[in-house]
Structure 1
Amino acid sequence: MLNNYVGSEIGQLRRVMLHRPNLSLKHLTPSNCQELLFDDVLSVERAGQEHDIFSATLRNENVEVLLLTDLLTQTLEISEAKEWLLTTQVSDFRLGPSFALDIRGWLRTMANRELARILTGGLTYSEVPAGFSNMVVDTHSPTDFIMKPLPNHLFTRDTSCWIYNGVSINPMAKEARRRETNNLRAIYRWHPLFAGQDFIKYFGDETLNYDHATLEGGDVLVIGRGCVLIGMSERTTPQGVEFLAQSLFKHHQAKQVIALELPKHRSCMHLDTVMTHVDINKFSVYPEVVKKENACWSLTPNGTGGLTTTEEPHFLKAIEKALDIDHIELITTGGDVFEAEREQWNDANNVLAVRPGVVIGYERNTFTNEKYDKAGITVLPIPGDELGRGRGGARCMSCPLQRDDI
């Protein structure tokens, strides 16, 4: 069995977790998509076909692909895991004690795969047995959600991220995504691939209110050689960065965290939407956001369990020093100013390296893909006309579980 370990952004990718969306997209409508953090509704069938091509592209590169619904189904076969998930996701406080008891009892009778679909895809009042009647039921319409769908599970990168010998199970910034974390907590605690394995849980494994200490995996780049680059975006706070850094140092899994401040707006909701590592000395960047004047700090252990925080004059110099390379080559988003803005919005910078110099990206970003090619980076193109409307590319849609060092 492969050990779960992620030593870089660009080393050979060996195992990855994806989520093929279905029920959650069927529950996505023009009236609720904004609340669920989507800009538009997606064609369910077409999005699934595009996702299948993404999975096949990875498998063709000898990457083992694990699907979240499969992992969750297998986790639910363990009675303790099922009870924990039902109690957590269908709590008395969410539904009231009498209705919650009814719903949990009904869900226990389901096949595990159907229950896994509901835990990711959502459940409406119209879908429960007609005999359930109480104040909670009577004060809701049939199309109201008992459990809201989790369409952002598509972006498996965010909810948990592996960093060297451990995983951060991330406290999500937005209410619409917080229940995702419980599904991952259950998988990492009980699924046979993870239960009893020797790995570290850095941050976020307990059901706590982390308040302002939020963190999402799209902001975390494991650039290798003991260093982690983290963007402080609209979703990841300095408080979250400090908690993760402190845990990394406590477990001797990193020697330095570089924290880069980003604008707090949706077009660059995570660092990887504007910057990714594509080869040992090459990064893709959107220069309208990633600028030399962006504030940057270096966090290192202070020797007594705390942090030493030093402001860096230039984040690229800090990365060069951390990776022990002379010069970083930046591949900027392609086209003129209008084309570059369009392609960044369509995730031209959000590519997933399968090995040094070989990345998966959306075929629609022709100007940027041409620049990758000229810089010696091979792009394995996948369609993204539907998937890309969720505002996430190949890196967002993948959670590496096993990747080599550089």
Structure 2
Amino acid sequence: MSIKNQSFKVNVNTEIGRLRKLLIHSPDSGLGKVVPSKAQDWLFEDIVHLDTIRKDEYDYYIKLLMYFLDPDKIKGKLAEIDSETADRNFFKPDHKDFHNSLAVIEIQNLLADILEDASIRKKLSAAVCAIEGCTYKRQLQMVETEPKELAKIFISGTLEDDVMIFAPIPNLIFTRDVGITINNHILLNKPAKKARSRETLLMRYIFFNHPIFKEYAENILEIPDPAQHFLRPGEEEEQRTTLEGGDVMMVSPDHVLIGCSERTSAYGASEAIKLLFENNVVNKVTVVRIPNKRDFMHIDTVFTQVKRNMWVLLSSISKTQTANPDEPINFLVKQDHKEVTEIHQFTKHKVQEPKIFESIEALLDDISQNDLKSTEPTQFIYSGNGNFPYDSREQWTDSCNLLAIKEGVVLGYDRNDKTVEAFKTNGFNVIKVKDLINGLEDGSINTVTITDTLVLMPSAELSRARGGFHCMSLPLLRDDL
């Protein structure tokens, strides 16, 4: 059944409502072509092993999503999918046996769909070739390329004969950053780094041209540059208008968090606030400024939500942390001779009178108690169990970057041992993804009744890409709490 012909609903109003639809991108061949000399230019810290990521790590992610979001596509078929004789192409979007889920939606498939339109194929080929500096003859060749193959080329930068014609876009696996669903609107990103320009272009074409988003065309928000921005002297990083989805969290139906970070500028946050207020999307936006460092990158690398009253976060930015001169980095911002984090909350009719929070914990407690009406005290689980150096080590491997597939059931990397201990201390069950999948297959575990569970995902290679499962998801539909 083609996704193009389906009625489609978009709505996300919390971080933890039962997940029903999301956009993902399975690791493609371009990820396996990142070379050491260009890794950091392409926003990777290291080169990764593609087959290991695909078969031993990311495939578990897709399987688990399918059991929760589209079980008819996988239940009863696990043995066949995992058999030694299977060619393991169930998760490769260009293969005839791909699952084609209408809930676990592959970006490459959407791209191939819109490229069937000759006009779009011509326009997008011209745009990509302009960004990548291709010849006009190459552009004409792309226009004549079959849509599914052209989608692969646009993403991997590689022709059918394995010849690379331009750089891959390996960060497309981090779909959160290309946009974020805010109620029934989609806020598109404005990337900070040149390496993400092509993926942003592709996603704009998908959101504005794919039939499943047709009813939401007026609800897609793009962040503009300020008027006459080109007259600014220089192109200093701090003066650019940038915003990425990892810095945007939809924490309650009327409240959005926006981070100012290495990737999202104050200009970007300001323009996003204007858009959200002018379009009546929400009435409250809180801006959280974190250190402009690669260690953090986005706010979802330092905290994410687990339950209505529970959050996981980096202790170094919490109110209980005092400056330690022996630590190599002081994460706190000095203001009026006090060490506090910078958090300003704006409401639609009082934009010039922001409410200031003393700490991340105070903000998250306010969200839990006042926005989400929790009947229990707010709890915090700290990266590395709050102990240095494990807090910093495990935050680097995404201990705070968790994806909730329903309230209290979150996915995280298996390598963050001290953080796992903290979850256990707070009453959580901990289960390896393989055991959970087997339980879902044989019926001993049920997606409806499972609660308070941290699912450990294999991460030897994925963690080296510097992004967790919150980064690797763009939720399109969640249940209301």
Given the two structures, how large is their TM-score scaled by the length of structure 1?
A: 0.87
3-state SS in 1 of match to 2:21: strand
Are 1:18 and 1:398, in contact at CA under 8 Å, matched by a contact in 2? yes
- Give the structure 2 partner of residue 393 of structure 1: 468
1:205 Cα offset (Å): 8.0
Partner Cα separation in structure 2 for residue 162 and residue 80 of structure 1 = 28
* Cα deviation 1:114-153 (Å, max 9, x = unaligned): 21111111248x977xxxxxxxxxxxxxxxx643210000
Q: Does 1:172 pair with 2:202?
A: no
- Give the structure 1 partner of residue 294 of structure 2: 266
Q: Does 1:47 pair with 2:61?
A: no
Are 1:17 and 1:67, in contact at CA under 8 Å, matched by a contact in 2? yes
Consecutive unaligned residues of structure 1, counting only runs of 5 or more, are 129-144
Q: Which runs of 4+ in 1 moved over 4 A?
A: 208-211
* Cα deviation 1:45-66 (Å, max 9, x = unaligned): 1111221111111111125211
- Give the structure 2 partner of residue 149 of structure 1: 168
Decide which moves more: 283-292 or 254-263.
Answer: 283-292
- Give the structure 2 partner of residue 349 of structure 1: 400
1:100 Cα offset (Å): 3.0
1:197 Cα offset (Å): 3.5
Are 1:275 and 1:290, in contact at CA under 8 Å, matched by a contact in 2? no
- Give the structure 2 partner of residue 298 of structure 1: 345
1:313 pairs with one of 349, 354, 358 = 358
1:302 Cα offset (Å): 2.7
1:221 pairs with one of 249, 271, 285 = 249
Are 1:78 and 1:190, in contact at CA under 8 Å, matched by a contact in 2? no
Are 2:285 and 2:346, in contact at CA under 8 Å, matched by a contact in 1? yes
Q: Which amino acid aligns with 2:462?
A: L
3-state SS in 2 of match to 1:158: helix
1:361 Cα offset (Å): 1.1
1:109 Cα offset (Å): 2.2
Consecutive unaligned residues of structure 2, counting only runs of 5 or more, are 1-6, 71-102, 231-238, 321-339, 429-451
3-state SS in 2 of match to 1:372: helix
3-state SS in 2 of match to 1:157: helix
Q: Does 1:80 pair with 2:86?
A: no
* Cα deviation 1:198-233 (Å, max 9, x = unaligned): 651222389x98971111111111111311112211
Are 1:23 and 1:122, in contact at CA under 8 Å, matched by a contact in 2? no
Partner Cα separation in structure 1 for residue 194 and residue 425 of structure 2 = 42
- Give the structure 2 partner of residue 329 of structure 1: 379
Q: Does 1:107 pair with 2:182?
A: no
> Structure 1 residues 199, 31: closer, same or farther in 2, change over 3 A?
same
> Structure 1 residues 182, 366: closer, same or farther in 2, change over 3 A?
same
3-state SS in 1 of match to 2:316: coil
> Structure 1 residues 165, 355: closer, same or farther in 2, change over 3 A?
same
> Structure 1 residues 24, 308: closer, same or farther in 2, change over 3 A?
farther
Q: Which amino acid aligns with 1:261?
A: R
- Give the structure 2 partner of residue 12 of structure 1: 18
Are 2:14 and 2:480, in contact at CA under 8 Å, matched by a contact in 1? yes
Partner Cα separation in structure 1 for residue 105 and residue 365 of structure 2 = 34
1:274 Cα offset (Å): 1.0
Are 2:18 and 2:479, in contact at CA under 8 Å, matched by a contact in 1? yes
Q: Which amino acid aligns with 1:176?
A: A
Decide which moves more: 290-299 or 10-19.
Answer: 290-299
1:366 Cα offset (Å): 2.5
Q: Does 1:3 pair with 2:48?
A: no
3-state SS in 2 of match to 1:267: coil
1:349 Cα offset (Å): 1.0
1:232 pairs with one of 245, 253, 260 = 260
1:120 pairs with one of 155, 173, 176 = 155
Q: Which amino acid aligns with 2:200?
A: T
1:7 Cα offset (Å): 0.9
Task: Report the identity percentage.
Answer: 31
Backbone CA RMSD of aligned residues: 2.4
Q: Does 1:252 pair with 2:280?
A: yes
Partner Cα separation in structure 2 for residue 318 and residue 82 of structure 1 = 46
3-state SS in 2 of match to 1:350: coil
Decide which moves more: 330-339 or 187-196.
Answer: 330-339
3-state SS in 1 of match to 2:105: strand
> Structure 1 residues 307, 155: closer, same or farther in 2, change over 3 A?
farther
1:35 pairs with one of 41, 60, 64 = 41
- Give the structure 1 partner of residue 86 of structure 2: none
1:308 Cα offset (Å): 4.6
- Give the structure 2 partner of residue 71 of structure 1: 110
1:191 Cα offset (Å): 1.1
Decide which moves more: 289-298 or 269-278.
Answer: 289-298
3-state SS in 2 of match to 1:171: coil
> Structure 1 residues 290, 68: closer, same or farther in 2, change over 3 A?
farther
- Give the structure 2 partner of residue 373 of structure 1: 424
3-state SS in 2 of match to 1:361: strand
3-state SS in 1 of match to 2:190: coil
Decide which moves more: 265-274 or 316-325.
Answer: 316-325
- Give the structure 1 partner of residue 204 of structure 2: 185
Partner Cα separation in structure 2 for residue 353 and residue 35 of structure 1 = 31
Partner Cα separation in structure 2 for residue 28 and residue 299 of structure 1 = 41
Query: Pairwise mapping of residues 267-282 of structure 1 onto structure 2 (< 5 A)?
Result: 267-282=295-310
1:370 Cα offset (Å): 2.9
> Structure 1 residues 368, 318: closer, same or farther in 2, change over 3 A?
closer
Query: Would you tell me which structure has more strand in proportion to its own residues?
Result: 1
Q: Which amino acid aligns with 1:77?
A: E
3-state SS in 2 of match to 1:353: strand
> Structure 1 residues 13, 127: closer, same or farther in 2, change over 3 A?
closer
Partner Cα separation in structure 2 for residue 317 and residue 342 of structure 1 = 25
> Structure 1 residues 262, 291: closer, same or farther in 2, change over 3 A?
farther
